Structures are given as structure tokens and as C-alpha cells.
Structure 1
Amino acid sequence: MGPDPRLRLGLGLELERFILGELATNCYILKSGDEAAVIDPGAEDERLLEALEGHRLKYILLTHAHPDHLGGAGWLKAEIAKMKRGRGIGGEARLLLHRGELEGLRLFSP
């Protein structure tokens, strides 16, 4: 068993990492109170649904449009809708941020 994939960031934020799909893409769930956001759901994986227990999924965030980062987004949206646990997840995808609009949001630096 490796290190705990959960990281407490302070201010009530918790970040949990998952490695998904054949390409082992990093996916993250960011939780705050009873709300959550999933970042880069690259594959369909029941562990995401389990980790969202007790939380309302407010956002599905995609860092870029490669299949290994967005492959599970539609599945996740549909599964959450079936369970009626989503809030704010509806309609078509929208571009909320453009490159350079949000400084400092980087999990790792090269």
C-alpha cells in the first residue's frame, strides 16, 4: 500500500488523487464541505463515485481536451444524474477559463 492519496490543503479543502485508465492518467477530486469538483476524469471508474459519497458534484473540470483526460467525463455526469447527487452539472460543456486567466493554479511544476 502506497502513501495516502488524500491531501488536506487547509481552508477546509481536501484533494484526492486517482490513477485512471490504461494510460494511468491522474484524476483529482477537490472537496470543500459537502461540495466537490472532479478534475480530469480520464476513464470510467467506480472509485470516483465512491469517493463522492456524501458530496454534491458541482464541477467537472478538464485541464485540456485529450481523451485520456476527458474520457470519463460524460459517464461521470450521467452516473451522478442517475443518483441525483449533482448540482450545477447540466447542459453542454462551456469554456469557463482561458489560458492565463487564473494564475497560480498548478498542481505540479516542471
Structure 2
Amino acid sequence: MTRVKRGVTKHRRHQKIIKLAKGYRGSHKSSYKQAKAILLKAWQYTYCHRRLRKRDFRRLWIIRINAACRQAGLRYSEFIHQLQGKMIKLDRKILAELAATKPAIFEMILKKIKP
């Protein structure tokens, strides 16, 4: 069996990591060891923040819906409860979009809900 030397493979793998670390400061962009460590940390942050982004957007949607409801004299919790009671299947993302960009349509939804 012939001997397999890994020089080319190792070099390619290192270059791939260094290419991913482009734009980092100092030796983090040029040293393989530093680049790999900093990339692992960066990937941890991105994993964590992908989940945080979902939370943050939901909070933003709720704030926007609440602001639009308060102008009509209704609390957010009452609004959502009445939406569910009337079987109106609109999610918070759509409701927030309507409240921010198309207030007339949001007013129509409020009229359907108000007793």
C-alpha cells in the first residue's frame, strides 16, 4: 500500500478556514489557529442569535399591534382574545404589518371584533 501524504489536503482545508475569516482584525484573518477559534465562536453567536431574532421580531410585532389597538381604545390581550373568539386566523406578523402600513384595513378588523 502506498503512503498518503496530506500536505495538499491540509493546505486546502486551512485556506478554506482563512477564507471564511476574511474581514477579521489582526491575526484572526491570517493565522489558521486564530481564525478557526474565532470562527467557532462566531458560529456559536450566529446560532444563538438566529433564535433571539425570532423572539425580538415577535416582541416588535406585539408592540406595534398594541400601539394600534390602544389608539382604538382596546388592549392587546383583549384584541387577541377576541380575534380567537371570532375565529379570525391572522398571525401577529400580518397584524403588525397591517397596523403599520394599512391602518384602514386594521380598522376594519377592529370593527369586526368590537361588540
More helix by share: 2
More strand by share: 1
- For Structure 1 versus Structure 2, the TM-score category normalised by the shorter chain is under 0.3
Q: TM-score, normalised by structure 1?
A: 0.20
Bigger-Rg structure (1/2): 2
